[in-house]
Structure 1
Amino acid sequence: MTTSKLLPDDLSQTLRAHQGGSHENGYFVYDIPALKQHLAKLEQQDVVKLWYAVKANPLSSVIQAVADSGIQFDVASKGELTQVLLQNVEAEKILNTGPAKSFQQIAYFLQQGVNTFVVESYNQLQWLAQAAKEQGKQPDALLRVQLRWPEGEKNPLGGNSLTPFGMGTEEWSGVRANDFPSVNICGLHIFQWGNMLSNRQMFSLWGQMVEPLVDLAERVGFALKVLDLGGGLGVDYLETGQGIDWQQAMADLAQIKQQAGVAELWLELGRYAVAPFGYYVTDVVDRKTNFGKEQLVLAAGINHLLRPAITDQPFPVSLLRQSSAPLADFHLHGPLCTSMDKLGCLPLPDDIQVGDQLVFSLAGAYGFTESMPLFLCHEVAAEYVYDNHQLTEVRAAQPATWYMR
């Protein structure tokens, strides 16, 4: 008997009984109690200070769960800042990241009480110093650094590629900390690889970062108190059986912390914090055999789950109802008029039919807010939270008339 992978039995029963609205061609649901348990485990260590990258999932219930855990917040836009502050999070618990910080945005964040900034360029450092002087403040700043290795691997975040994130050590080495008395330059930020699944690879990358970063701090002329290693801890979308071992990561980071001689190590977790606790459900609207391949056409596709089109990595999927049929490979397509609308070729029970529902796992990160719902005027997905053994609608599915003008 097969049923939804990674889906708790009580939640699976609740979803099978769910009757959505008339426009509900697909919906997200987030398991809040399971998320809270996971976040609590992440905080049971004294090696690193954790920040939650809000870009992964800015839903109010998720932010509230993160805040309750004691983890602080990495925000990269005014919209994310507003959303976090609306959940009664103190501005002092917010770190401002992002490559496109203008003087106006920096000044606004300072006015709102944010005191910690990752600066990505010489301009941003100057703007932060100017805004701080005008407002009579002295914020903390981390310089974001790009490093290059002889054999860097390719990755959506950049790896060795030229990206807008920070600057190289040679470019930063012309800065003198004493020239910016209104800013407390206290650390460096380095993050270039995303969704890593190997502790060994992560430790190797972290270890190579230490020497050039310590040297850069000496050249710029400040005491390196904070080293922010960003995120990059991955989840196993392809179900390879690989993944980051959290306790091993903490042991590795304890060595990095000692090697760098810093008072604080920071991590900014996104998908590793929330991905396993979100699901996406949609209907099968057609099944056919084409060129000897089995195909399923779904009520929604990359208009709700864009990630497969960007990364060529599908979300794991299962049939929501129980089935004892043998598994077969199915090519999964959404409703958009483009061949890009494909959610992968994945195994499902061979008795699947029109009207069945599929549930995609690991959809707690980079789901709803990374989607492209406007193309072809399809419906915007609904969102639910699962708590106290019941679903609560956060946002109803909306037809195109909701946003068309």
Structure 2
Amino acid sequence: MSTLSTPVKNAITSLTQSQHEPFYLYDLDALSGHLKLLTEQSVVKLWYAVKANPLSSVIQTLDKAGFNFDVASSGELQQVLAQGIDAKRVLNTGPAKSKHQIETFLTQGVNTFVAESLNQVAWLQDAAQRHNTALRILLRVQLRWPDNEKNPLGGDSLTPFGLGAQEWGALTVSDYPNLDFVGLHIFQWGNMLEAEKLASLWQQMVDPLMTLAQQLKIDLRVLDLGGGLGIPYADGQPHIDWPTILRSLEHIKAQTNIDELWMELGRYAVGECGYYVNPVVEQKQNYGSNQLILAGGINHILRPAVTSQAFPATLLRESTSATIPYTLHGPLCTALDHLGEHSLPCDINEYDWVVFGQCGAYGFTESMPYFLCHTLPSEYIYQSGQVRCIRPPLTPENYLR
């Protein structure tokens, strides 16, 4: 898990002395160092999945590191373009590409799309023809997996992402002269921590994908493996082995004889750089359990309710008291507002702050911020020893109408 360095801890402590609402802080120095390790290779082209964290400062840091950008909505596109990034460095993913959205992307200069259906292929052709342009297209393939492999994006479950090989078999690529079918896209697993298991899944998909490309008479130049590389959320979980990942990808690239391998990293790129800092409202004992009630909950950080997996948590101040198990709850009037079970010092009280780690990805923008009309959290960046407020807290009187 990410380590709270002394300078960052001091910065967070200083911020807590001047406010009483939860906030996020992102360590951009740590992020830059991590991204440098990821980009020092020539095996795979890296895209950043903007859904993980669309904050301008985070996007700018990824841009400086040499990443391109995977966007899944018109709003994400505008956010990326607002940072001065060329639309030619954007890949449009996402299952719901309407005719209107396709038109918006083409008008802004995007020319690379992942098609999720036969309808989308037809709509992309029509739009490209109207614009008198050629588009690069990847077909997203959904494979069924043996042994009941399960994960947030499908495994062997039916999802809205792409089509099966049989369904894509109805496509005649010559019917779409404005579309250059450069490759295939597949991504059906999330937050994988075992490099060998991920390599095994990739290996299982090679033959059916190559067979589909031959059937469709596609000159396969790109194979997009999506993301799925995980970060540890619980004590004892390993970090995924990036060198092993690269060796596996190099093997697949040689095996398939394709020009480019692509991956869209979100959580693995930015997850470990972020912290959610949350004040304690009270500690209480209930039916033999120790409970902590916090000022912020799934209105700011929804993932524990969605995945039943908590972000790691620690007490901000130092304590020599024995640790005991607590269940952590936010302020919302629903039992869903549960932030996990954690071992924390028994002397924790209403003046303390709890720091949740691994929050650089799937934090605030994945939350349900308006329920019960609480204040929206501020966001800070830490860079070169300085703290800067990127977005101040937003109170209900400023967002309710």
Normalised-by-shorter TM-score class: over 0.9
Whole-Å Cα distance in 2 between the matches of residues 5 and 153 of structure 1? Answer: 28
Whole-Å Cα distance in 2 between the matches of residues 114 and 377 of structure 1? Answer: 38
Q: Gapped runs of 5+ residues in structure 1? A: none
Q: CA deviation at 1:243?
A: 2.6
2:109 paired with 1:113: yes
Letter in 2 for 1:151: D
Whole-Å Cα distance in 1 between the matches of residues 336 and 364 of structure 2? Answer: 18
Whole-Å Cα distance in 1 between the matches of residues 2 and 88 of structure 2? Answer: 39
Given the alignment, which residue of 183, 189, 195 partners 1:193? 189
Is contact 1:21–1:397 with CA below 8 Å preserved after alignment?
no
Is contact 2:302–2:368 with CA below 8 Å preserved after alignment?
yes
Q: CA deviation at 1:21?
A: 6.3
Superimposed CA distance per residue, residues 288-329 of structure 1 (whole angstroms, 9 cap, x where no aligned partner): 111111111001111111000000100000000111222211
Question: 1:238 aligns to what?
Answer: 234
Question: 1:80 aligns to what?
Answer: 76
Given the alignment, which residue of 160, 163, 167 partners 1:171? 167
Q: CA deviation at 1:240?
A: 2.5
Question: 1:7 aligns to what?
Answer: 4
Superimposed CA distance per residue, residues 73-130 of structure 1 (whole angstroms, 9 cap, x where no aligned partner): 0000000000000000001100000000011211211111111100000010011111
Letter in 1 for 2:256: A
2:299 paired with 1:303: yes
Whole-Å Cα distance in 1 between the matches of residues 272 and 115 of structure 2? Answer: 31
Whole-Å Cα distance in 2 between the matches of residues 122 and 298 of structure 1? Answer: 48
Q: CA deviation at 1:70?
A: 0.6
Whole-Å Cα distance in 2 between the matches of residues 217 and 286 of structure 1? Answer: 59
Question: 2:93 aligns to what?
Answer: 97
Question: 1:290 aligns to what?
Answer: 286
Whole-Å Cα distance in 2 between the matches of residues 261 and 77 of structure 1? Answer: 32
Moved more, 279-288 or 319-328: 319-328
Superimposed CA distance per residue, residues 188-241 of structure 1 (whole angstroms, 9 cap, x where no aligned partner): 000000001111110110000100000001111111110000000001112233
Is contact 1:5–1:318 with CA below 8 Å preserved after alignment?
no
Report 1:265-344 matches (<5 A): 265-344=261-340
Q: CA deviation at 1:183?
A: 0.4
2:372 paired with 1:391: no
Report 1:394-405 matches (<5 A): 394-405=390-401
TM-score, with structure 2 as normaliser: 0.98
Is contact 2:28–2:58 with CA below 8 Å preserved after alignment?
yes
* C-alpha RMSD of matched pairs (Å): 1.2
Whole-Å Cα distance in 2 between the matches of residues 111 and 289 of structure 1? Answer: 59
Question: 1:63 aligns to what?
Answer: 59
Runs in 1 of length 4+ with deviation above 2 angstroms?
19-22
Letter in 2 for 1:330: Y
Question: 1:143 aligns to what?
Answer: 139
SS of structure 1 residue aligned to 2:271: helix
Superimposed CA distance per residue, residues 142-173 of structure 1 (whole angstroms, 9 cap, x where no aligned partner): 00000002223221111111111000000001
SS of structure 2 residue aligned to 1:165: coil
- Over 3 Å counting, the alpha-carbon distance change for 1:176 and 1:21 in structure 2 is farther
TM-score, with structure 1 as normaliser: 0.97
Q: CA deviation at 1:5?
A: 6.6
SS of structure 2 residue aligned to 1:146: coil
Is contact 1:178–1:221 with CA below 8 Å preserved after alignment?
no
Given the alignment, which residue of 246, 251, 262 partners 1:250? 246
Whole-Å Cα distance in 2 between the matches of residues 17 and 394 of structure 1? Answer: 16
Is contact 2:2–2:358 with CA below 8 Å preserved after alignment?
no
- Identity percentage over the alignment? 53
Question: 1:362 aligns to what?
Answer: 358
Whole-Å Cα distance in 2 between the matches of residues 19 and 287 of structure 1? Answer: 19
Whole-Å Cα distance in 2 between the matches of residues 262 and 298 of structure 1? Answer: 51
The count of residues paired between Structure 1 and Structure 2 equals 401
SS of structure 2 residue aligned to 1:142: strand
Is contact 1:76–1:96 with CA below 8 Å preserved after alignment?
yes
Whole-Å Cα distance in 2 between the matches of residues 260 and 291 of structure 1? Answer: 59
Q: Gapped runs of 5+ residues in structure 2? A: none
Whole-Å Cα distance in 2 between the matches of residues 157 and 379 of structure 1? Answer: 31
